[in-house]
Amino acid sequence: MNMTGALLIGARNVFRETRFHAVAAEDGAPLPVAFSCAEARDVRAACALADDAFDSFRATAPDARAAFLDRTASGIEAQGKELIARAMAETGLPHARLAGECNRTMGQLRLFARALRQGRCFDVRIDPALPDRTPLPRPDLRMIRVGVGPVAVFGASNFPFAFSVAGGDTASALAAGCPVVARAHPAHPGVSELMGHIVRDAVAASGLPEGVFSLLGGPSHEIGAALVRDPAIMAVGFTGSRAGGLALAAMAAARPVPIPFYGELSAINPVYLLPDALEARAETLGKDFIASLTREAGQFCTNPGLILAVEGPALDRFRAAARAALEDSAAQTMLTGGIHEAYESGVAALAERPGVTCLGRGAPGGPRACQAALFETSAAAFMAGPALGQEIFGATSLLVACPDSATMQALTAGLEGQLTATLHMAPTDLPLARSLMPMLERKAGRILANGWPTGVELCDAMVHGGPFPATTDPRTTSVGTAAIERFLRPVCYQDIPETLLPDGLKHSNPFSLPRGLDGAY
Amino acid sequence: MNMTGALLIGARNVFRETRFHAVAAEDGAPLPVAFSCAEARDVRAACALADDAFDSFRATAPDARAAFLDRTASGIEAQGKELIARAMAETGLPHARLAGECNRTMGQLRLFARALRQGRCFDVRIDPALPDRTPLPRPDLRMIRVGVGPVAVFGASNFPFAFSVAGGDTASALAAGCPVVARAHPAHPGVSELMGHIVRDAVAASGLPEGVFSLLGGPSHEIGAALVRDPAIMAVGFTGSRAGGLALAAMAAARPVPIPFYGELSAINPVYLLPDALEARAETLGKDFIASLTREAGQFCTNPGLILAVEGPALDRFRAAARAALEDSAAQTMLTGGIHEAYESGVAALAERPGVTCLGRGAPGGPRACQAALFETSAAAFMAGPALGQEIFGATSLLVACPDSATMQALTAGLEGQLTATLHMAPTDLPLARSLMPMLERKAGRILANGWPTGVELCDAMVHGGPFPATTDPRTTSVGTAAIERFLRPVCYQDIPETLLPDGLKHSNPFSLPRGLDGAY
């Protein structure tokens, strides 16, 4: 597979005169292939094709969509080497990480294939007619979840595979029967196009209509805006900056027909070092914290950006261990020059805030490398305003030393919504942990004990989501099988003749879907 | 139980100097009791109590919440006579309808009690730890759906029981473990207070914290606005006018922390008379249509406001039958003077639109009675702009005579989202029905054959919802057990010790909830 620089509009390669170059994360040097910049007409064409494809795509058997997802996963598997090489150049992420992410992306596609074959996600409910009921007979009522319509998926800069062109949102939307118009992240146009060809080939090999998938690229914000505003688009999946996400969310809400916008925007993922755990293992915690913080330049939405602990000698030991580990941490190239600049200016601004001191910095590196940083402030300073609770994307974190555990509680009550909250605790910390739990359940989508938040398992029980601004819609997750719910809506059929019912609701149950009959399963 | 004119703020009766009177729907004469108008401090107090109650309320056993809902239903049952008498005076609705609605309201509470005892709504998923997995062990991961937080419920004018203080939204929010702050509809403050006392008594009898339920009344829009903006409120259920709903939805989206807004706003519920069905039973269809249209002055969100048919002799027979039935239809008092005025001016404006002719009017009645109306227009006139597709609340409908079935298709493609779409068809109409189905599935939450949309069954498979503007969130329903999903969000627990897990996730499964284990049930 070669990179061509094309937009992939259904089955067509479309080239535009205005081009942009991918650049190496390392030094900003241009990488091969000049990529076409999508224009308004391209957005419209892709969305119109998606709309045309929707009715037949959503009517396909769950098995057929599962085979399509499996085929996409196999396509990625077959080209893993080339994909990873290009992703390394475009993102600066190390090989092992990208290989793991590539596996994860295949895993996501296969997880939704499994969910489709199981069929529970369609939530079929049948309340049969009761012709003899008095005073009025009951009609036959059948419900199934159907796709919401074409979905716009915005690739994220920090996961060129798992949250991009064929990433989680694409997998769950396609599983739901929704065509996808993907907006390639301009920081990795090459890997986006390679992935796009894989999905498109799977569309063709599966005999699906071409409009099931399109890929649009270019650096302009206008492309994303046009996509969110296009009347054919019925939902949006987005992972990115708070400012960018809020702007797109406002557009989605201001449309003549508002649509669901699933944005993952911002989190600092508080980590609580409860007193007895800190006492027992301050050094290990300090070291493991820095490992989690600095992994791949801290470019994770689940990065531990806030550490809470009660002041005392054990915290001193943690500080010392963290500082030592930090000084040993290698500087890792950041994803883009812009992200690196934002990191540097965020860290510089934090360092100058009153009441904030720098506990240490990691080793410096190349011009676009992330020099890790650890700051400290008092609980009073943290609670004085929202500024210290803002995410700085990258390997920086803020330790808040609390005078007592009551202050830790009070500070927690004022936090914004989070993707995760983590408790490090010893058995004797249980009473304090118990008192924190209700607040953490309100604030976070996932609560962990004695781990670090940066690993997100791929499974049925995962929730990668959370209250605003962690996400714009805390009712859903973007990872795990429950993510398919984002792109489904229920439809009820009343006394509809067998031949007109969708196959998922027919008496003969051709898809062998699990069904609730009068509420029983 | 006496009406006191109080606001019910938790367990307290709060009286305010500024009062308003309920008025008789019939003639606008004041009814007994002057009701307190809620002030900003009352909204805040009710919301703060709800927030205080949330953590302990959501932690109650599903069985305990089911008992609470059953107790509320029994309270309604015990006072049915008084409730119905007051509702008749305030709404002008007939006894039989209100008695049926009262039963339905008890049925809703009991349906959610049943759903809680079944426990499927919590969607418990457990992916146990895999300590020996390579390269990395898997932690123990458990997911459960928890309440989103305190919910604001806006009572609807047209269902003083089923969509009001203890109606569907309240039942599903309480089932989800969310405290409710109800905003009484000012058109039926007396029945609202009576219902409020029943819920409050059930709260107390169930040993729940007082903040689980509050009731605020008054005619000012400021009360609703303050409620939607209150930081403790985490979701809103609303049934009412398009303009009012959109204004509140915009406030919900503009909060520092935006929240889900479930508004049911507007629908004209297209009914298709397919050619062979029309040929076979034009007279019956005409008569049944008018019965559905004029029932209780047409004050239903599922009222058949648009009839589509192909021009021809059979349609003439339908017209004649409908006109005859219309002339025989009694005028029924409307809910309020304001609603009657809006109906009259809506009908007058429609009558004056170019291309619209009046096919007939029902009998006139008292000063606030709804004189039914049937208009006709051409498909071309209907498709020329959005004006003819707007809902007029009351017993009026618009027949669109299409030159052919292709035109019927084209018109359908331009319709807004709807709560329902209805096909009247003979077996020989199946090919045409089949060609309409994909579009109807996109446009409506419920599709019926050979019935009328005004009856909404209470069951698992029901969807009372639909694409915008039928509702502001087509992913949900407000009737049926799936409605509980509006007020739940998933939370994942990773390696959390047994004693800190919510009871619904404990190894011992004290609530006996159905669980998915590694994806299997």
Predicted confidence (pLDDT) per residue in A288-334, tens digit: 999 999 999 999 999 999 999 999 999 999 999 999 999 999 999 99
Beta bridge partners of B273: B309, B424
**A171/A282 same-domain check:** no
- Cis before residue B231, ω within 30 degrees of 0? no
- pLDDT of B520 reads 87
**Structure confidence by residue, pLDDT tens digits, A117-140:** 999 999 999 999 999 999 899 999
In a shared domain, residues B252 and B310: no
**d(C-alpha A157, C-alpha A401), whole Å:** 33
Q: Given this model, what pLDDT does residue A520 score? A: 87
Query: Cβ B143–A518 below 8 Å, yes or no?
Result: no
Judged by a CB distance cut-off of 8 A, whether residue B465 touches chain A is: yes
Residue A400 in any domain: the answer is yes
Phi and psi of A93, rounded to 5°? -75, 150
**Which entry of A47, A102, A301, A370 is annotated as an active-site residue?**
A301
**What span, in angstroms and rounded, lies between the C-alpha atoms of B66 and B74?**
12
Which uninterrupted H or E stretch holds B377? Answer: strand B373-378
The predicted pLDDT at position B282 comes to: 98
Closest B-chain CA to A116: B519
Q: Is B396 part of a structural domain of the chain?
A: yes
A100 with A55, same domain?
Answer: yes
Q: Could you confirm whether A301 is annotated as catalytic?
A: yes
Q: Which position among B102, B121, B301, B370 bears the catalytic label?
A: B301
Instruction: Give the domain range for residue A105.
Output: 8-265+473-505
Q: Is A455 inside any structural domain?
A: no
Q: List the single best residue of A415, A494, A515 to mutate versus B (max B Cβ within 10 A).
A: A494
Verify whether the Cβ–Cβ distance A136 to B455 is below 8 Å.
Answer: yes
C-alpha triplet A440, A446, A451: angle, nearest 5°:
95
Q: Do A459 and B141 touch (CB under 8 A)?
A: yes
What is the rounded CA–CA span in Å between residue B455 and residue B303? 9
Instruction: Identify the closest residue of chain B to A518 by CA–CA distance.
Output: B460
Q: Which residues of A touch B127 (CB under 8 A)?
A: 457, 459-462
Q: From the list B120, B441, B489, which residue is nearest A491 (CB)? A: B441
Do A178 and A298 have their domain in common? no
Chain A residues 401-430 with a CB less than 8 Å from chain B: 417, 427, 430
Q: CATH number for the domain including B237?
A: 3.40.605.10
For position A43, what pLDDT does the model report?
98
In a domain, B116, yes or no: yes
Distance separating alpha carbons of residues A123 and A145, to the nearest angstrom: 6
What is the number of helices (H) and of strands (E) in chain B? 14, 22
In a domain, B28, yes or no: no
Is residue B7 within 8 A of residue B216, CB to CB? The reply is yes
Which CATH number belongs to the domain containing residue B374 in this structure?
Answer: 3.40.309.10
Quote the number of domains for chain B.
2
Q: Do B50 and B209 meet the contact criterion of CB atoms below 8 Å apart?
A: no
If asked whether residues A95 and A13 sit together in one domain, one would say yes
CA atoms within 13 A on the CB side of B67: 11
Residue B1 has what pLDDT?
Answer: 59
Distance (Å, whole) CA B271 – CA B290? 12
To test the contact with chain B by mutation, choose from A276, A415, A464, A475 the residue with the greatest count of B C-beta atoms within 10 A, namely: A475
Question: Does A198 lie in the same domain as A162?
Answer: yes
Determine the residue among B295, B475, B486, B505 to mutate to test chain A binding: the one whose Cβ has the most chain A Cβ atoms within 10 Å.
Answer: B475
Q: Are strands A141-147 and A488-494 parallel, antiparallel or unpaired?
A: antiparallel
Contact check, Cβ <8 Å, B500/A449:
yes
For residues A15 and A159, membership in a common domain is answered with yes
Question: For residue B506, what is the DSSP state?
Answer: S
Q: Which residues does chain B have within 8 Å of residue A173's beta carbon, measured at their own beta carbons?
A: none
- CB burial string B454-491: b at 16+ within 10 A, e below: bebbbbbbbbbbbbbbbbbbbbbbbbbbbbbbbbbbbb
Preferred mutation among A122, A145, A446, A492 to probe B, highest tally of B CBs within 10 A? A492
Establish if B498 belongs to a structural domain.
Answer: no
A431-488 residue pLDDT tens: 999 999 999 999 999 999 999 999 999 999 999 999 999 999 999 999 999 999 999 9
Flag whether residue A228 sits within 8 Å of chain B, measured between CB atoms.
Answer: no
- pLDDT digit string, tens, across residues A180-211: 999 999 999 999 999 999 999 999 999 999 99
Closest CA to B53 of B193, B162, B208: B208
Residue type, A43: V
* Helices then strands, each counted (H, E), chain A: 14, 22
Cβ neighbour number for residue B191 with a 10 Å cutoff:
30
Task: Please answer yes or no on whether A125 and B461 come within 8 Å at the CB atom.
Answer: yes
A458 contacts chain B (CB < 8 A)? no
CB atoms within 10 A of CB B406: 12
Chain B hits for A258, CB-CB cut-off 8 Å, are 468, 472
Q: Copy the structure tokens of residue B115.
A: 């759903």
B406 vs B387: CA distance, rounded Å: 22
Helices (H), A17-94: 40-58, 62-78, 80-91
CA dihedral (B316, B322, B325, B327) in degrees, to 10, reads -90
Are B259 and B282 within one domain? Answer: no
Asked if B443 is an interface residue toward chain A (Cβ–Cβ < 8 A), one would say no
User: Phi/psi at B254 (nearest 5 deg)?
Assistant: -95, 0
Alpha-carbon span A450 to A446, nearest angstrom: 13
* Beta carbons within 10 angstroms of residue B518's beta carbon: 12
Instruction: Indicate the residue among B433, B449, B465 that finishes a domain.
Output: B449
- Of A383, A415, A449, the last residue of a domain is A449
Whether B467 sits inside 8 A of A257 (CB atoms) is yes
* Residue A117 and residue A73 share a domain: yes
Query: A88, A94 in Cβ contact below 8 A?
Result: yes
Residues A50-70 have pLDDT tens digits of 999 999 999 999 999 999 999
Query: Would you say B48 and B222 are in contact if contact means Cβ atoms under 8 Å apart?
Result: no
For chain B, the residue count is: 521
Mean pLDDT across the stretch A32-42? 97
Pair A71, A191 in one domain: yes
- What's the per-residue H, E or C state across B173-210? HHHCCCCEEEECCCCCHHHHHHHHHHHHHHHHHCCCCH
Shared-domain flag, residues B113 and B161: yes
Q: Walk along chain B (521 residues) in steps of 10 and give the mean pLDDT of each run.
A: 91 98 95 97 98 98 98 98 98 97 98 97 98 95 98 97 98 98 98 98 98 98 98 97 96 96 97 98 98 96 98 98 96 96 98 97 94 98 94 98 97 97 98 98 98 95 97 96 98 98 97 93 82
DSSP A56: H
Same domain, B295 and B378: yes
The pLDDT, as a whole number, for residue A482 is 97
**C-beta neighbour count of B316 within 10 angstroms:** 12
Residue A456 domain flag: no
What contacts B264, CB < 8 A, 6 or more positions away? B238, B239, B240, B245, B301, B419, B464, B465, B470, B471, B478
Query: Does any domain span residue A480?
Result: yes
Q: Check residue A1 and give its pLDDT.
A: 59
ipTM above 0.95, yes or no: yes
Contact A481, A69 (CB under 8 A): no
Facing residues of B243 across strands? none
Q: What is the pLDDT of residue A2?
A: 78
For residue B303, how many other CB atoms are within 10 A of its CB? 30
pLDDT value of residue B519: 84
Structure confidence at residue A519 as a pLDDT band (50, 70, 90): confident
Under an 8 A CB cutoff, do B446 and A472 touch? Answer: no
Does residue B459 have an active-site annotation?
Answer: no
CB-count exposure of residue A96 (10 Å: 0-12, 13-18, 19+): exposed
| B 124-143 residues with CB < 8 A to A | 125-127, 136, 138-139, 141-143
Domain boundary among A449, A482, A515: A449
- The whole-number average pLDDT for the span A264-285 is 98
